[in-house]
């Protein structure tokens, strides 16, 4: 079972839509999902259209009074703002509301702290939280003096507020040093993987699109999957046999989301880079989500930032059993529901077809005394069907450019 807050907090969502805002409604819906993932109960959602954010209180005075009245009437514990607040805005809102106020960035950091399992993942989240909280330690306000727990206080949590800046900077330096050591180890492993002849596949997609479900369908191994945001955080790499002895590695990483805190993008750079050195990306898309097109664009924007747009991609439109009138925008693609048993074979066949497109076709004649070498060749090449006989046999298939040298031993 996944972790949640010890007791469900009653929260109000608050968002401001500017003329320049994009996909505002989708962002507010995501905020509700994030709050629920963190263990909160969303009581109400308030939105306001403005030309710009109020520099002091983020929202206008009228909306401020309206929300304050709601908080007092319904015994609200927390207000979650769908934007990044300045330390001043955060403190002023807490003074006006008399309850804890956190922004979207702090909420995402909190969920990441809740979900991190590996040592590296915990270090990365801790670093992101420290960098986020450091500028918020200046001045005196409700935000800085509160000692309450709950949403927004996981990870460093309360103890962070009791530390001075020098101590926090020391922690940041220490964690960065530890992460550099982890990255050196990861780089060594990655280089060995790059030097290998194994075909590498990476899973990417918006959070809750179904990447962990896909991983489980292809590997027959359990990985936590749930209908919630950021169900998987730490990168996972597994090996699978796609056909005969042909083996590939499959890497799952954290799901993407719009407005990902810059602190997290920097902290998770090494984790996201696990997908930078693959031969094929499987882009999982939640076809049932009415905002799936916007979600696809977010993923593509992040891929562009990571310089990964040139990696071949296969789009997988998932949850087709719940989709309505899907208009595909990504090609090549496959449409299915990963919850259905037959999805496994459909998926494997399509992946093999994509790999064949990336490989070079070949045809060789194999004499009987070299038939035994076909077993090793099948580890690196996709071979067509063949039968052993007393005479030489022509074998066709597909093989990667870097492995073409393996065919030389079959030539007379």
* Identical fold between 10-112 and 197-357: yes
Q: Are 132 and 261 in contact (CB under 8 A)?
A: yes
- Return all residues near 330 (Cβ < 8 A) that are at least 6 apart: 283, 285, 296, 313, 315
Answer yes or no: is 360 a known binding residue.
no
Answer yes or no: is 375 a known binding residue.
no
3-state secondary structure of 226: coil
Q: How far apart are CA 249 and CA 272, in angstroms?
A: 16
Answer yes or no: is 208 a known binding residue.
yes
Answer yes or no: is 49 a known binding residue.
no
Place of tokens 């076809």: 287
Regarding the domain delimited by 10-112, which CATH topology (the fold level of the hierarchy) does it fall under? Rossmann fold (3.40.50)
Look up the CATH number of domain 197-357: 3.40.50.300
Q: What is the dihedral of CA 321, 327, 331, 333, to 10 degrees?
A: 10
Q: How far apart are CA 318 and CA 106, in angstroms?
A: 30
Answer yes or no: is 207 a known binding residue.
yes
- Residue spans of the domains in the chain: they are 10-112, 118-139+162-195, 197-357, 359-410
Answer yes or no: is 206 a known binding residue.
yes
Angle, helices 119-133/104-115, rounded to nearest 10 degrees: 160
- Return all residues near 272 (Cβ < 8 A) that are at least 6 apart: 253, 254, 265, 306
Residue 107's nearest CA partner among 191, 209, 182, 27 is 27
pLDDT per position in the chain (412 positions), as tens?
344 445 689 999 999 999 998 889 989 999 999 999 899 999 999 999 999 999 999 999 999 999 999 998 888 999 999 998 998 999 999 999 999 999 998 998 888 888 777 788 888 888 888 888 887 775 434 444 444 467 776 655 545 455 577 788 899 999 999 988 887 887 777 676 666 788 999 999 988 888 888 988 888 765 555 555 565 556 778 899 999 899 999 988 777 777 777 777 765 566 676 677 899 999 999 999 988 998 999 889 888 888 889 999 999 999 999 997 888 888 999 999 998 989 999 999 999 999 999 999 999 999 888 988 999 999 999 999 877 777 778 899 999 999 999 999 888 6
Answer yes or no: is 232 a known binding residue.
yes
Answer yes or no: is 212 a known binding residue.
yes
Answer yes or no: is 314 a known binding residue.
no
Pairing state between β 236-243 and 381-383: unpaired
Answer yes or no: is 253 a known binding residue.
yes
Cβ-based burial of 403 (10 A; exposed 0-12, middle 13-18, buried ≥19):
middle
Answer yes or no: is 141 a known binding residue.
no
- The full DSSP string for 55-117 is TTTBS-HHHHHHHHHHHHHHT--EEEESSPPPHHHHHHHHHHHSSEEEEHHHHHHHHHHHH--
Answer yes or no: is 148 a known binding residue.
no
pLDDT at 147: 44
Residue 85's nearest CA partner among 115, 59, 65 is 59
Answer yes or no: is 258 a known binding residue.
no
Q: Are 80 and 13 in contact (CB under 8 A)?
A: yes
pLDDT at 2: 41
Place of tokens 């070079």: 360
Q: Tokens standing for 334?
A: 């496959």
Q: Are 47 and 28 in contact (CB under 8 A)?
A: yes
pLDDT at 163: 57
């Amino acid at each position: 079972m996944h972790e949640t807050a010890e007791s469900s907090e009653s929260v109000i969502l608050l968002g401001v839509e500017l003329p320049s805002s994009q996909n505002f409604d989708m962002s507010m819906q995501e905020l509700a999902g994030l709050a629920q993932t963190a263990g909160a109960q969303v009581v109400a959602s308030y939105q306001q259209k403005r030309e710009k954010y109020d520099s002091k209180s983020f929202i206008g005075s009228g909306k401020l009074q309206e929300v304050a009245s709601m908080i007092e009437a319904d015994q609200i514990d927390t207000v979650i703002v769908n934007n990044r607040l300045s330390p001043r805005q955060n403190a002023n809102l807490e003074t006006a509301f008399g309850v804890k106020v956190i922004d979207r960035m702090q909420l995402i950091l909190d969920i990441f702290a809740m979900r991190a399992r590996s040592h590296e993942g915990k270090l990365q989240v801790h670093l992101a939280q420290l960098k986020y909280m450091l500028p918020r330690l200046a001045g005196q306000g409700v935000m800085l003096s509160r000692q309450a727990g709950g949403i927004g206080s996981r990870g460093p949590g309360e103890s962070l507020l009791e530390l001075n800046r020098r101590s926090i900077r020391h922690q940041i330096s220490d964690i960065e040093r530890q992460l550099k050591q982890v990255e050196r180890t990861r780089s060594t492993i990655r280089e060995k993987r790059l030097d290998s002849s194994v075909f590498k596949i990476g899973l990417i997609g918006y959070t809750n699109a179904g990447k962990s479900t896909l991983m489980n369908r292809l590997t027959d191994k359990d990985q936590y999957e749930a209908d919630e945001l950021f169900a998987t955080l730490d990168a996972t790499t597994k090996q699978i046999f796609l056909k005969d002895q042909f083996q590939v590695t499959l890497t799952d990483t954290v799901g993407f989301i719009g407005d990902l805190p810059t602190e997290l993008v920097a902290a998770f750079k090494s984790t996201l880079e696990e997908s930078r050195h693959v031969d094929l990306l499987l882009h999982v898309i939640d076809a049932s989500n009415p905002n799936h097109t916007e979600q696809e664009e977010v993923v593509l924007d992040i891929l562009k930032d990571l310089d990964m747009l040139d990696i071949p991609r296969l789009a997988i439109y998932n949850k087709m059993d719940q989709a309505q009138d899907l208009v595909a925008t990504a090609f090549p693609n496959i449409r299915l529901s990963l919850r259905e048993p037959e999805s496994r074979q459909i998926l494997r066949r399509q992946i093999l077809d994509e790999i064949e497109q990336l490989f070079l076709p070949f045809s060789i004649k194999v004499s009987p005394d070299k038939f035994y070498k076909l077993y090793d060749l099948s580890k690196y090449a996709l071979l067509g069907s063949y039968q052993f006989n007393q005479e030489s046999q022509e074998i066709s298939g597909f093989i990667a450019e870097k492995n073409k040298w393996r065919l030389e031993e079959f030539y007379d």
